């Protein structure tokens, strides 16, 4: 399936994705696609597109999938990535 957010998204957007497509037309908060507390891995598949900026720790411990951030990410983007693609 596909979900489009017309504005900004808060922290942990897309954290539990296992497939599908999430498009955020604005900015995304910290920990985009990163694991929730107690989880070992973050996003595990799918496509996540942010038309604006992403906060700190985008794609932290991401396992699979694609995250594309068009206007830049905060500190530590891609830290501890297991697999997947961050553009």
Mean pLDDT of the chain: 98
* pLDDT for residue 70: 99
For the segment 51-75, the average pLDDT, to the nearest whole number, is: 98
* pLDDT for residue 81: 97
Dihedral, 65, 29, 52, 9 alpha carbons, nearest 10? 90
Q: Please report which confidence band the pLDDT of residue 39 belongs to, taking 50, 70 and 90 as the band edges.
A: very high
Query: In which residue are the tokens 């932290």 written?
Result: 60
For the segment 57-86, the average pLDDT, to the nearest whole number, is: 97
Residue-wise pLDDT for 26-38, tens only, equals 999 999 999 999 9
For the segment 8-14, the average pLDDT, to the nearest whole number, is: 98
Residues with Cβ within 8 Å of 30's Cβ and at least 6 positions away in sequence, in order, are 11, 12, 55, 56, 57, 58, 74
User: In 13-47, which positions are buried (b, 16+ CB within 10 angstroms) versus exposed (e)?
Assistant: bbbebeeeebebeebbbbbbbbbeeeeebbbbebb
End-to-end CA distance of the chain: 22
User: What is the domain partition of the chain in residue ranges?
Assistant: 1-87
Which DSSP category does 36 fall into?
P
For the segment 3-11, the average pLDDT, to the nearest whole number, is: 99
């Amino acid at each position: 399936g596909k979900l489009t957010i017309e504005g900004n998204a808060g922290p942990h957007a897309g954290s539990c994705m296992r497939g599908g497509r999430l498009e955020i037309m604005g900015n995304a908060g910290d920990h985009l696609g990163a694991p929730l507390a107690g989880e070992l891995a973050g996003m595990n598949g799918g496509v996540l597109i942010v038309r604006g900026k992403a906060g700190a720790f985008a794609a932290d411990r991401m396992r699979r999938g694609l995250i594309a951030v068009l206007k830049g990410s905060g500190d530590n983007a891609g830290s501890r990535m297991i697999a997947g693609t961050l553009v």
